[in-house]
Amino acid sequence: MADSVIATAKTVDEVREHVRAWRKEGLTVGLVPTMGFLHEGHKSLITRAVAENDRVVVSDFVNPTQFGPTEDLESYPRDFDRDCKLCADAGAALVFHPEPSDMYAPDACTFVDMTALTHELCGLTRPIHFRGVMTVCSKLFNIVQPDRVYYGQKDAQQLSVIRRMVRDLNFPITVVGCPIIREDDGLAKSSRNTYLSEEERKAALCLSRAVFKGQEMVKAGERKAAPVLDAMKQIIEAEPLAKIDYVKMVDFENIVQIEQIEDRPILCAMAVYIGKTRLIDNFIFDPSTPDGTLA
């Protein structure tokens, strides 16, 4: 039985103390960055990290710098006690739960930014989002100094951006991408699903239905983007409560729109408003593997 009590740290110094002790023992460290309100999707990342590292740190921090002024920073769901239990059950060693003031000095003025990859897809609607993500993840990498970090393909653009940042800035860290975990009916698990009313929850299934349709067409051999995107949009547009932000096919490594699948991994991604809630979903297709999953 997993022990459901887990060490927690609020400050950077406390985290460093834990990690220093582990490193003295020669142990490896994995990091799972999250914004909390954890679910089975997060748990799958933690479980994978526990399998591949001696100690796992989960960061649980609603990072203000990745939210735009009109976004849901204040209303973002939080339940730290439940998060700790999930982390303990999954076998993590430490939950890092700082206050914004523990992470950002009042006069902090240094940010990590990228000249490509972040101006497409979610970057168009959320112009400062990836700058905030890259900044907080760089800080977490410097604080925890993990061997491996774990990200979900649910946020596929984020995964691609973090891979590029780790390469470009020479972080000595392996980035591990993990598959999307879904509800039984197909909806991708998300902390933001709690915003949905009963009616909206049903309507939200148009995202996964569109993803499955697009994936099926590509797996069956369709290589042009347009027919795949048209079929996906048709499914979403048939749902009265849904409003498309974007549905696009891009090269997964460069996040540049493509018209045709060639020999490189592609990302087919969408953001859709269901009422006021903005949900994302996607599939990645890698033509170099037998089943199309990312190599």
Instruction: List residues near ligand AMP by CB under 6 A.
Output: 34-35, 41-42, 44-45, 151-152, 154-155, 178, 180-181, 188-191
Q: By C-beta, is 83 or 120 nearer to ligand AMP?
A: 83
CB of 83 to ligand AMP, least distance (A): 10
Question: What is the dihedral angle through the alpha carbons of 123, 125, 128, 131, rounded to the nearest 10 degrees?
Answer: -20
**Strands 55-60 vs 29-34: parallel, antiparallel or unpaired:** parallel
Distance in angstroms (rounded) separating the CA atoms of residues 226 and 204:
23
How far from 144 is each of 19, 94, 105, 109, 240, CA to CA, in Å? 7, 11, 18, 21, 45
CB of 262 to ligand AMP, least distance (A): 26
CB of 226 to ligand AMP, least distance (A): 28
CB of 46 to ligand AMP, least distance (A): 9
CB of 222 to ligand AMP, least distance (A): 25
Sign of the alpha-carbon dihedral angle for 230, 235, 237, 243: negative
**Strands 148-152 vs 29-34: parallel, antiparallel or unpaired:** parallel
Q: By C-beta, is 237 or 253 nearer to ligand AMP?
A: 253
Task: Give Cα 199 distance to the centre of its chain.
Answer: 26
Q: By C-beta, is 134 or 225 nearer to ligand AMP?
A: 134
Is 42 one of the annotated active-site residues of the chain? yes
- Residue 274 in 3-state DSSP? strand
Q: Which of 39, 42, 97, 129 is catalytic?
A: 42
* Nearest C-alpha neighbor of 245 from the set 214, 282, 270, 264: 270
Q: By C-beta, is 140 or 261 nearer to ligand AMP?
A: 140
Q: Is 85 exposed, middle or buried (0-12, 13-18, 19+ CB in 10 A)?
A: middle
Q: Residue 213 has which token pair?
A: 């349709």
How far from 213 is each of 60, 80, 81, 229, CA to CA, in Å? 34, 37, 38, 10
Q: By C-beta, is 89 or 222 nearer to ligand AMP?
A: 89
CB of 63 to ligand AMP, least distance (A): 8
* Nearest C-alpha neighbor of 157 from the set 284, 26, 70, 66: 284
The H or E element that residue 60 is part of is strand 55-60
Q: By C-beta, is 181 or 204 nearer to ligand AMP?
A: 181
**CB-based closest residue to ligand AMP:** 152
**Count of CB atoms situated within 10 Å of the CB of 197:** 12
* Catalytic site positions: 42
